[in-house]
């Protein structure tokens, strides 16, 4: 049976990707161009689903209302680039190539490629359970990536772009510096390879996680209740992480999907209310500049951090 997504991906491959690959002399990528197109289509659908779910929430119970929300338009561009451009390229094409190379190298040297099922044999024959276990593993890895991005000054100089938005909405999830995105992608790729996530499942996992992350950034007074907020990160819980810190306060709530790691490592704060967001005293271009201006400001901040030896 042919599904609508398959038809769209097939059309995109035939009329856009293959001519482009041919013109650039990269036809060796033709065999995986359909997979790239399919994940790109999924990205568009995910953006539409995110919009359909989060926009009503933001209009129903907004935390803030702004007379001029032009700064949010830049975040929309970030989302499109990430979900339709970078995400399919990195999470399918690059992940697939690296997995093929790693599996071949290990086989040549008498080793078997790592798989979660080999570490826990009862998972064999239970792909749905295995797929569900990938989520907390990837989320645990992302908790530490995120926490470290606040720990090291050079990394924070890039990550500050994500926090600079004073008009945080569900579009703000993908508001990241390109170098920060590259680091994050590499982090996820290594973890994904180490637990043997199948190439087609990896981008789908990322899409599911990114949908939930978009929800957590929504400009909405939404909590999942005492128990729910301890099972899944809500907009209320994550907004505390983006909140402007008072004197003596430390950042909190680093988790992306699950609050469990914050609770385990004593970085959870369920008590902070819907505080204002942003980075006071930071480069204004990071908050209100164009996409190019924000990227350039992040590079300048990184250079200053490195030159100062921080």
Q: What is the pLDDT of residues 161-206, one digit of tens each?
A: 999 999 999 999 999 999 998 888 888 888 888 888 877 677 777 7
Strand, helix or coil at 277?
strand
What is d(CA 295, CA 161) in angstroms, rounded to the nearest whole number?
8
What burial letters (b/e) apply to 112-151, b meaning 16+ CB within 10 Å? eeebbbeeeeeeeeeeeebbeebeebbbbbbbebbbebbe
Q: Where does the chain have alpha helices with state H?
A: 4-12, 18-23, 30-60, 70-80, 87-88, 95-108, 116-119, 127-151, 153-163, 178-194, 201-216, 225-228, 235-242, 260-264, 284-288, 291-307
Q: 176 or 128: whose pLDDT is higher?
A: 176
Q: Which of 188, 81, 265 is nearest to 251 (CA)?
A: 265
Alpha-carbon gap, residue 189 to 173, rounded angstroms = 19
Backbone angles phi, psi at 110, to 5 degrees: 80, 20
More confident residue, 248 or 265: 265
Average pLDDT, integer, range 255-266: 96
Residue of 119 and 154 predicted with greater confidence: 154
Q: Are 13 and 37 in contact (CB under 8 A)?
A: yes
Residue 1 in this model has a pLDDT that exceeds 50: no
pLDDT at residue 81 in the model? 86
Q: Tally the residues of the chain.
A: 310
Of the ranges 119-133, 210-224, 231-245, 294-308, which one carries the lowest mean pLDDT score? 119-133
């Amino acid at each position: 049976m042919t599904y609508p997504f398959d038809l769209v991906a097939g059309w995109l491959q035939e009329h856009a990707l293959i001519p482009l690959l041919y013109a650039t002399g990269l036809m060796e990528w033709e065999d995986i161009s359909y997979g790239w197109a399919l994940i790109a289509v999924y990205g568009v659908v995910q953006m539409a689903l995110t919009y359909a779910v989060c926009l009503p929430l933001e209009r129903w119970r907004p935390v803030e209302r702004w007379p001029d929300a032009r700064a949010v338009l830049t975040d929309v561009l970030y989302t499109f680039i990430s979900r339709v451009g970078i995400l399919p390229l990195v999470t399918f094409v690059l992940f697939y190539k690296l997995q093929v190379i790693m599996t071949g190298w290990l086989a040549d040297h008498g080793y078997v490629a790592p798989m979660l099922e080999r570490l826990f044999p009862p998972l064999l024959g239970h792909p749905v359970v295995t797929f569900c276990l990938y989520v907390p593993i990837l989320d645990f890895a992302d908790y530490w990536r995120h926490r470290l991005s606040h720990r090291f000054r050079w990394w924070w100089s890039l990550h500050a772009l994500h926090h600079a938005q004073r008009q945080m909405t569900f579009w703000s999830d993908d508001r990241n510096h390109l170098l920060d995105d590259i680091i994050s992608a590499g982090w996820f790729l290594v973890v994904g390879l180490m637990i043997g996530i199948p190439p087609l499942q990896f981008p789908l996992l990322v899409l599911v996680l990114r949908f939930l992350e978009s929800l957590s950034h929504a400009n909405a007074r939404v909590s999942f209740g005492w128990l729910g907020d301890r099972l899944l990160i809500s907009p209320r819980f994550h907004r505390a992480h983006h909140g402007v810190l008072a004197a003596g306060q430390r950042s909190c709530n680093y988790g992306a999907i699950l609050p469990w790691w914050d609770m385990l490592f004593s970085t959870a704060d369920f008590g902070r209310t819907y505080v204002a967001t942003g980075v006071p005293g930071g480069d204004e271009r990071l908050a209100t500049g164009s996409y190019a201006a924000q990227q350039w400001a992040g590079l300048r901040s990184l250079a200053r951090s490195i030159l100062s030896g921080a």
